[in-house]
Structure 1
Amino acid sequence: MRDLQPNGRVLAVLAATASLAVMAGAGSSAHADTGSPDGAQAVQVNATDAAEIPCAKYLQKKHTYRTDPAGPSWQTHKTDKLGRPAHAEIRVGAVDRDPRLGLCEAVVDEWGGPGHVGARMIPAGVKGAGHRANVVPVAKSADRILKAVERKTLRCNAGYKIVTLGVTAHYKKNDNGVVPSRFSVYLEAKNRAIEFGANSFLAFDNKEYTKAGEHRLLDSLADQVEAMRC
C-alpha cells in the first residue's frame, strides 16, 4: 500500500501555504462576475498573486480566478459549489510560465492515491498556472491524454493567431472527494486573417485505460485536430 504520509517536500509546501487565507486575501480585488449565471465572484490575479492561492483541498466555493480578464489574452479558473477546481480556460500566451512548477502538484499528488499524480488541467507547456485552482489528482493514463492535448494546442498555436483551450473537471454526484471522475476538453483555433474558426471536443474518464483504449482516445484527438487544419 502506498505511504500517504507527506514527504519533506510536501511538508515544506504545506508550511508555506498554511498561513494563507483562501484567495480573497489582501492584494486581490473582488468584483461581481456578471458573465456567470450562478453569481460567482471573480478575482483578478497575476502571476505573482497566484502564489497566494493556498494549495488546499477546497478553495472558495463557486469562485472565479482570472488573469487580466480585460486584455487580449487571459486565463480563467472556476471552482464548484464545494470549492474544488471545476473549469480552467486559457487563451494561449496569457501569462508567463509559473516559476513554482511542481510545488502544488507535489501536495495534490498525495490526495489521489496509487496510480494518480498531481497534474495541471491546463498544462504548464501552454502556460497553465501551477496554483490549486488548476491542479487536481489525475490518473496516469488521463495525464498522458492531457499532455497530448498540450502538444496539439501548441501545434495549433503555431499556425493560428488565437487558440483557446478549456478543460472541465467533473465529479461524481453526491461525492465530496477531490478526485475528478471525468474530464472534457475544448480546443478552439481561430485565424482572423482568413476568418476561419474550428474546434475539437474530447471527453474521457479519469482512470487507467488499457493501451488500446488510450490509443483510441489519442487517435480521436489527433483526427479532430487534423480536421481543424492545425
Structure 2
Amino acid sequence: MSASVEVYSTEGIPPGAVPERTLRAEPKGVARPGTTTNHSRRSLPGSGPGRDFDTSQSMMEVALMTVARTVRRVCTVALAVMSLTLITTVTAHAAPSYGEENTATSVRGPQPPDAICESVGLPTSRFAGGCFKRYGDEWWVTQNALYGEKVYVDWENYLLAPGPFFGGSHWELYRTGRCYLNTLSEFAWGVCNKDYYEHSSTNFYGLKGSQLRWRVCVQGWSCSSWTSRYNDQ
C-alpha cells in the first residue's frame, strides 16, 4: 500500500510567509532523511514517557529469575534429604522409656575387671553389689547370703538435648530401669544386657552426649550412693 501524500501550494500567500518549497507530510513510520530509528528499544503499553523497555535487559532478568528458581529448588531438595537423614539417624533407637524392669541372667562371678561397681552394706557382714560394664552396656548384680531380700540396680540414662535457650543444651532424662538379681545363692551374680547411646554418637535429640547414673539397692533396707559415668566404650 502506497503512503498518502498531501501537497500544499503557496499560491496566494505573501512571499516570505513560508519557504519557497512544497510542503509534504511524511508517511507514518517512515523516518526522515538524515535520521535514524532505534529498533533496540520499544515502549511497553501504558508505560508512559521515560519508561522504555530494554529487550536485552528483559532477557537477562528472565534468565536470572530462572537461575534463582532453580537454586531455590535445589536447596529445598537438599534440605529435605538432610532432614530425612537426620530423622533416620535420630530414630535408630526407641523413644524415651521409663520404668524398664529386667531380671538378671545368672552367671559365674566375679565381675569383669573393667566394670565400675558400687555396694551397700547390711548388718551381720552382708552386702549387695552392682556394677556397670561400659563395653557391652551390662549391669552386674551380686549379693552375699541375703535372707530373701530383693537386690537390684537402679539406673538412669541421660542424653544431651537442645535448649532451653537458643544455642544451649542440657541433660534430658531419657530412660530409667531396674536390673533384679534372680538368685539367692551365696556370691551369685546376674547380668542384664542393655543398649544405650554412646557418648560420642548422635543421640535421640540430635546431639552427642550420653551418661548413666546408678545405685545398688536391697529392697526394704537401703541403697548405695549414686554413681555417674559417660557411656564411652
Q: Which has the higher contact order (CA 8 A, sep 6+)?
A: 2
Pair member with larger Rg: 2
More helix by share: 1
Q: TM-score category by the smaller chain?
A: under 0.3
More strand by share: 2
| TM-score, normalisation: structure 2 | 0.22
| TM-score, normalisation: structure 1 | 0.22
